Structures are given as C-alpha cells and as structure tokens.
Structure 1
Amino acid sequence: MHDAHHPLGRWLSDQRRAFRAGTMSGKRVDELEELGMIWDTADAAFAENLAAARTYYAEAGTLAAPRHATALDKPVGQWLTNLRRPGGLGKDPERAQRRAEQLAAIDPDWNPGHSGWTVDWQRHYTGLRVLLKDGGTLDEILPGVTYRGDDIGRWLARQDRDWARLNSEQQRRLGEVGVKPAVRPQKASTRANAKAGAAKGSDAFQRGIQALTQYIQREEKTVVGRQHVEELPDGTSVRLGIFLTNQKSRRDRLSEQQLATLAELGLAWAS
C-alpha cells in the first residue's frame, strides 16, 4: 500500500515513464499488466469511446453521427466530430494511423470529408439505404419520411434536383440504389453543354477539397497563401490559394452541400 509521501498517482506515472523509456524489466511489465495496468491513458480513453462508437454504429448503421448523439453514456457525436478535425487523431503519426484504421474497421465512411462530402450527406444516404432495405421504394420516400429524425424524403428530392453538383462517387452510390437525376425539358445541345460544364465544375471542386484537406492535415491551419500550389498523390497540381479565393467570391452560388463541406474543414466564411 502506498503512503502519504508517495501517492499512488505519482507512482503510476513513474511506472509509465519507465515503461516508455524502456528501463522496466519484462517481468515487472507482466506483473503490472496482470493487475490491469494501462500504459497509455489517452489510448484507454480512446478505447472507451471506440466501444461507444461501435454501439452507435450497430444502432444507426453509420458513424456519421450528429454532434448531439450519445451511446453508452458517451458523447460519441462530438467525439467523432473532434476526430475528423485536422490533427484530431493525435499528433503521433503511428497512433493517428492506428486510430483511423480502428474507426474504418467499424465504418469505412467514418470521415466522409476525405471522399468530398459532408457528414450530413453520409447520414442521410445511410438512412435512404436503410429505408429501402426495410421494403420502402423510392416513390414512397417523399418529403416528411424520416429515419432517426432526419427527413430523408426532402434530402432525396434535393439530390435529384442538384445531381450535377454531386461528385462522381456520390452519383455512383445513389445510382446503386436506383436514384436518377430529375429530367428537365431542355434543348438537347443546351442540356449536353450544361451537363458537361456542371461535371467539370464538380470535378474541379472535388480536387480543390481533396487538396485543401491534405493541406490542413499537414499544416494544421486553414490559412493558405494565394499563390500556394498543392500537389495531389496522383500528380495533379491544384492552385489551392486561388481555388479558395474563387470559392469565397462566389459563395452565393455554391450549393448547401459545398458550403457545408468547406465549413466542416474549418472555413468560417462558409458557415
């Protein structure tokens, strides 16, 4: 038993320090682990929240939780929101990679910003899939039809209307469940030109978001010099500073989803 001159908390800190320094014998390590010693308190807290995330996923089918969501009495929604922020997984690269893999093992789409869309979009898309799996049809999912409090019908109508603003992967996923863009009567040439222009714009926005996400994760800031050029893994160069200036100047013409994507990355002007 510890005495007043050597409090237990300080003693535990000493043991953890010795373990990290590699000065503790293997026998001592085994003895302490048998007593339930947790070497890294940060990892212990992460493990507890990860268990809550598994529970939430089992109930909701997604980790795209709203900020107020809870599970196992843990604020899992806010926890996940914090993790998605630049540097949210921790500054140690190996630990951050390990945590990302643990989250992806629960839900590969736990951080949809990497794919170019918002947590809100991912949550509604999951709700659509659940409703269809439960026997619903697209014709029946009208505004007012909800899943876990989200109006899936209204969201679905918006996807039909704003189809050209979605990126190719969003379009592919929606197409898998039978969603198609709304058909509008137009002259053939006008329709073709508009579709080509929208697709080009959507791809450019997606590349810009990918470059911005990469920049923020590396630099841990959202301030970008106007002349800064970001190189993507595929060799594409994105004039990131000019991209952001252009998005800000045409804010009123961005879709709700595009603004939400920028806001989630920490750009206050997009909120």
Structure 2
Amino acid sequence: MGAMDAMGEPVISMRGVRADLGSRPVLRGIDLTVHRGEVVALLGANGSGKSTAVRSVIGQVPVSAGEIALFGTPRRAFRDWRRVGYVPQRTTAAGGVPATVTEVVSSGRLSRARFGILRKADHEAVRHALDLVGMADRARDSVGALSGGQHQRVLIARALASEPELLIMDEPMAGVDLASQEVLARTLQEQVASGATVLLVLHELGPLEPLIDRAVVLRDGCVLHDGPPPKALGQHALPGHDHVHPHEAAGTEPIRTGLLS
C-alpha cells in the first residue's frame, strides 16, 4: 500500500473528464486525483485548460464525458458546498455593488449560516479570516478603495470564512504585489497545517513552491506530467528551459517550462 493509498478517500477525483467551450474541446480526457491534505498545483500554458479544469470541479463548466467526485460523492449529487472554498481569478470582489471588506468576506460564511442569519460564531469566523490575510484593519473600508493585492486577500478571506476542508484557487498570485504574495503563502501554509486540501492553478510556483506536493502540467487539455513539481521551474519559469519527465520514452517532446505562463 503506497503513501497515496494511506491517505484514504480522494477529496477530488476526475476520471476521463472532457469539456467543450462552444464547439471547441478544452479538456480532452483529464484524470486527476487529489488526496486529503495534499497541495496540488495545476500548471500549463494559457489555453491549456487549467481554469476550465477547476471550474468543472465546482460545477461552473459542464462536462461532456467522464466523472467528477468530491469527497467520494459524484459532483452532480454533491450538496455540502460549505466544505469547499473557491477563489476565482481576480475580478471585482463586489461585482460592481458598493460593499465593505467585511460584507464581501461575510458572504463566504453564508453557506454555514442558518437561514442566512450570521450569528456570533459566524462573525468571529469572518474576523479570523480577515486576520489570517492581514486585512482586519481594513474591515470597514470599501473594497473599491483597495489595491489589487489587498483585493485578492479579501477574496481569499471570503473563501476561508466558511472554514473549508478543500480550497480551490485559480491563479491566486496573479497581479499581486510581493508583500501580498508572502502574506498569501503564509496564510496557505497555515491552512495546510490545519489539514486543508488545496488545488491551485498557477502560472509559476513562486513563493508557494515549498508548499506544493505535486504538479500536474496540462497541455491542450491533456495531462502531460503528474508528479513532483518540475525542478526547472524554480522561483520563475525559465524561458526555453526543457524538462524531460523521467518516465517518458526517449525522443518524446520535453516540457518547455518557458510556456508555463
């Protein structure tokens, strides 16, 4: 029995998943398993299917073939969404509606609130989530007044407010200043230490590299590599640097890590 088997029930299971956007196939048969407590990075060039893959897991993109399960339950039957925290690619947190930082983060708690009424424990969870991302001092501010990095911290706090077991994050570091990247890396480290399972879409490993257990590299909607993070990525993808997967037959095309952007 390998280490993976010892981890028990997969938190995410994708088997032969295909998805189309319009008439264009975007996922062409993805197999991916994320076990409890793992931190898995999805890497690949733009258009490789990374975002579509995570959005198919949470049900935002319909699949045309294959099976997806969350916590052992087929996704179409899965209802316990409070166990899942999702951080989309950065957009306006308030969706154009004037809102304070606290209001945006509180919206992430509603999945746990009874009848949509926030009680003391809910307010405490919201405050704790803001503390985790270093935004407690901005709790009453309008999200419209925030920098890009602060905005991203608020979206992550919103996902953390429901105290999820599984965190799915789509390029959480994109367009975020270094100080915020370090805060986010530290926040994620604390979540992992407390037992969270994490699936991240990244275009480079950056400050999250020490946390990543496995890297899954997609190309044209297929899994090209699933295993240890490609060492050649380092802090930044090196243009034109080739990384040959050790299990590939000689003569197959190497991964060009410079494309991982």
Taking structure 2 as the reference length, what is the TM-score of the superposition?
0.32
Mark the structure with the bigger radius of gyration. Answer: 1
Which structure carries more helix by proportion? 1
Taking structure 1 as the reference length, what is the TM-score of the superposition?
0.32
Which structure carries more strand by proportion? 2
